[in-house]
Amino acid sequence: MESTSPGVAQAAFAAVLFIGMLALYLLRFARSWRWVAVTLFVVILDQAAKALVRPGIEHERISFMGGWLRITYAENWEQGFGGNVTYIFALTAICVLALYVLYERLFRARYRMSSIAELAVALMVGGYLGILLDRVRLGFVIDFLEVGPASTFVYNIADLAVFLALALLVARGVQFIRHRWQSSFRKPQEAIGWPKTQ
């Protein structure tokens, strides 16, 4: 356990940096304080579910929905989907720097988050906080959900919150790009007085 402490400390520091930057986005660009409730809900649900899962059931694998959902117990000692600490820290630093550069531009443009973006970032903060709490308290992350008939991965509520957040951000990004693309075609027509289609 002592040999993993420096790695855990570095991973925790990287997580705090990333969570801090996401929280800054919410504090500055969110339209309301609903994100606080979403974040707390994810953290509480994640930690409560992990508290109910006890070591010793990893050989039982309690099944639901015809085996498509199984509850087990697993200790995840890996950092960030198997990456080493140096890789995770470097990747986090790049992401934080990119988010800071983007933050400056959005701040000058007086950007406000859409409801989807606000929900996504709140879910991500809650998910990463749940993972961080495990790393700090235990040195590993408790996983307990297997999805699919032949799953090779075990998840937890925090993981699912982060995955949902990423899906929402991608959907919002596609929506934003499509809107900008459609606007770029409308403006030249309106500028030269073309009639609008009925």
Please report how many Cα atoms fall inside a 13 Å half-sphere around the Cα of residue 91, on the Cβ side.
11
CA Rg value for the chain: 21
Of the candidates 46, 118, 146, 159, the residue annotated as catalytic is: 159
143 is catalytic: yes
Least-confidence region, from 24-38, 74-88, 113-127: 74-88
State the pTM of this model.
0.81
Per-residue pLDDT band for 72 (boundaries 50, 70, 90) equals: confident
Arithmetic mean of pLDDT over the chain:
83
Torsion, Cα of 19, 21, 23, 26 (10° steps): -140
Of the candidates 143, 144, 145, 156, the residue annotated as catalytic is: 143
Tens-place pLDDT, residues 145-176: 888 776 678 899 999 999 999 999 999 888 88
134 is catalytic: no
pLDDT of residue 36: 96
Give the separation between CA 147 and CA 138, rounded to whole angstroms: 24
